[in-house]
């Protein structure tokens, strides 16, 4: 897969010092997880599911989930499973330009059912477009059965199928059980280290346990009871060592106009400099200013990528995922020496500590492979205006 592949070559040349590289979907799992970007969910009940997967991939979405869980009413489940299988039978990996395609199932048995249905019966060696499965409400008690089924499906298909567990259960949310549960989850995930792509956060379910619905003027980090859970998840599972996994950000659920209570979260200056003031107003009117703020806070809290439920959310996530010219040169400077110490950034605006900043620099280089390095003077506004087709 490759980010920004849908942009013209001339546009890529103007925007990027180093354009995004093509990522081997069967290669290094950390690089692949870093490259997830905006993971777009769509209900398995859609009558145009096949066309929607192809269309969104063509628009630059590199990670897609067919949802059989919360997005499907119980009485529609059987038809949704049938629709999922029929769609995946028809879908060739080349149809989605190498994008990752997952299925979110409700039960381990559904993994086996879908996997078995997709095994070619005619001796064909053409692999399906299925990349793996998203596991909802993952706990140490229930997760093993899901992971074992994915392992068995990998053997049956003769290739690696990936798992993305979603942490959203009461055992993780409630303080009295949280740490013990996260320790047990970490141990279980390490038993399947080679197939756990990333750990996702289900903040909507977490809010529901307290009767909370996040307002569109706020980020998830303003909801303190959920922010505390996110902090614990990153502490246990997002460490920059062999114990760590890529953690992806929770969904942003708003996308339509509304009356605002608070001032917009986007400064006018960057948009005025790029003659994009009207575009800024469009972002504000569709609540995307708060999404941009939340994505920025995701990264500040050790989170990469984001679950999205509307196509308009993809461009903001990807625009903020590209590595800036300044970040890239700082990362190279930090990785240039193993001696440690401190020296001023070549930009004269910060100190680069060669020890403490080393893990950040390594992660930045991996992100640069997936999302590219922008040219000097190029900002997220430039990327966003191109991706949004202003």
Q: pLDDT truncated to tens, each residue of the chain (390 aa)?
A: 999 999 999 999 999 999 999 999 999 999 999 999 999 999 999 999 999 999 999 999 999 999 999 999 999 999 999 999 999 999 998 899 999 999 999 999 999 999 999 987 766 656 789 999 999 999 999 999 999 999 999 999 999 999 999 999 999 999 999 999 999 999 999 999 999 999 999 999 999 999 999 888 889 999 999 999 999 999 999 999 888 999 999 998 887 655 545 555 555 666 555 545 455 555 544 567 788 889 999 999 999 999 999 999 999 999 999 999 999 999 999 999 887 788 888 888 898 998 999 999 999 999 999 999 999 999 888 898 888 765
pLDDT number for residue 5: 95
Domain boundary among 285, 303, 321: 321
Same domain, 336 and 314: no
What's residue 273's pLDDT? 57
Q: Give yes or no: residues 382 and 242 share one domain.
A: no
Same domain as 363, residue 305: no
Residues 6+ apart with CB under 8 A from 194: 29, 160
Please provide the distance, in angstroms rounded to a whole number, between the alpha carbons at the two ends of the chain. 25
Q: Would residue 308 count as lying in a domain? A: yes
109 falls within a domain: yes
State the number of CA atoms in the 13 A half-sphere of 338 facing the CB: 0
pLDDT at 200: 98
Q: Are residues 309 and 340 in the same domain?
A: no
* Phi–psi pair at 6, nearest 5 degrees: -85, -5
Same domain, 48 and 194: yes
Whether 5 and 57 have beta carbons less than 8 Å apart is answered as: no
Same domain, 193 and 313: yes
**Does one domain contain both 328 and 310?**
no
Residues 263 and 326 in one domain: no
Rounded Cα distance between 134 and 115, Å, is 14
Give the bridge partners for 201, in sequence order. 167
161 and 192 in a single domain? The answer is yes
Q: In terms of domains, do 365 and 301 share one?
A: no
In-domain check, residue 2: no
Q: What does residue 309 show for φ and ψ, rounded to 5 degrees?
A: -125, 10
Last residue in a domain, options 275, 293, 321: 321
Please give the torsion angle defined by the CA atoms of residues 121, 126, 129 and 134, in that order, rounded to the nearest 10 degrees.
60
| CATH number for the domain harbouring residue 175 | 3.20.20.60
Q: Is residue 79 a part of any domain in this protein?
A: yes
Question: Does residue 188 share a domain with residue 40?
Answer: yes
Is residue 3 assigned to a domain?
no
In a domain, 235, yes or no: yes
Domain housing 330:
8-20+322-390
Domain end (from 321, 337, 364) = 321
Q: Does 32 map to a domain?
A: yes
Residue 166 forms beta bridges with which residues? 200
- Residue-level pLDDT at 254: 82
Whole-prediction pTM value? 0.90
Domain count, the chain: 2
What pLDDT is stored for residue 258 in this prediction?
56
What are the beta bridge partners of residue 65? 41, 102
Residues 235 and 292 in one domain: yes
């Amino acid at each position: 897969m490759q980010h920004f592949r849908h942009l013209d070559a001339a546009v890529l040349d103007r925007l990027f010092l180093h354009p995004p590289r093509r990522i081997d979907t069967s290669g290094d799992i950390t690089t692949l997880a870093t490259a997830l970007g905006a993971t777009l969910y769509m209900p398995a009940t859609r009558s145009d599911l096949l066309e929607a997967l192809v269309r969104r991939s063509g628009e630059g979405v590199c990670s897609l989930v067919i949802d059989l869980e919360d997005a499907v009413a119980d009485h529609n489940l059987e038809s949704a499973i049938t629709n999922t299988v029929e769609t995946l039978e028809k879908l060739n990996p080349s149809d989605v330009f190498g994008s990752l395609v997952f299925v979110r199932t409700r039960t381990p048995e559904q993994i086996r059912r879908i996997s078995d249905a997709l095994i070619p019966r005619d001796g064909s060696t053409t692999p399906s477009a299925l990349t793996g499965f998203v596991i909802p409400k993952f706990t140490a008690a229930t997760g093993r059965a899901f992971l074992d089924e994915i392992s068995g499906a990998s053997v049956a298909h003769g290739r690696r199928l990936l798992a993305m567990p979603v942490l959203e259960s009461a055992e993780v949310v409630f303080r009295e059980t949280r740490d013990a549960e996260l320790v047990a989850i970490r141990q279980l995930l390490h038993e399947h280290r080679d197939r756990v792509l990333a750990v996702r956060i289900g903040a909507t379910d977490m809010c529901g346990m307290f009767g909370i619905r996040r307002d569109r003027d706020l980020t998830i980090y303003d909801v303190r009871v959920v922010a505390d859970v996110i902090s614990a998840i990153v502490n246990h599972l997002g460490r920059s060592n062999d114990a760590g996994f890529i953690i992806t950000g929770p969904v942003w659920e708003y996308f339509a106009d509304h009356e605002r209570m608070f001032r917009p979260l986007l400064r006018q200056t960057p948009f005025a400099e790029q003659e994009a003031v009207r575009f800024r107003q469009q972002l504000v009117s569709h609540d995307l200013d708060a999404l941009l703020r939340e994505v920025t806070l995701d990264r500040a809290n050790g989170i990469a990528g984001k679950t999205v439920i509307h196509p308009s959310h993809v461009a903001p996530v990807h625009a903020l995922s590209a590595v800036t010219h300044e970040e890239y040169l700082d990362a190279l400077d930090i990785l240039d020496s193993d001696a440690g110490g401190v020296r001023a950034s070549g930009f004269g605006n910060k100190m680069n500590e060669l020890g403490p900043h080393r893990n950040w620099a390594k992660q930045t280089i991996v992100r640069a492979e997936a999302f590219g390095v922008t040219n000097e003077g190029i900002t997220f506004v430039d990327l966003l205006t191109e991706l949004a087709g202003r």
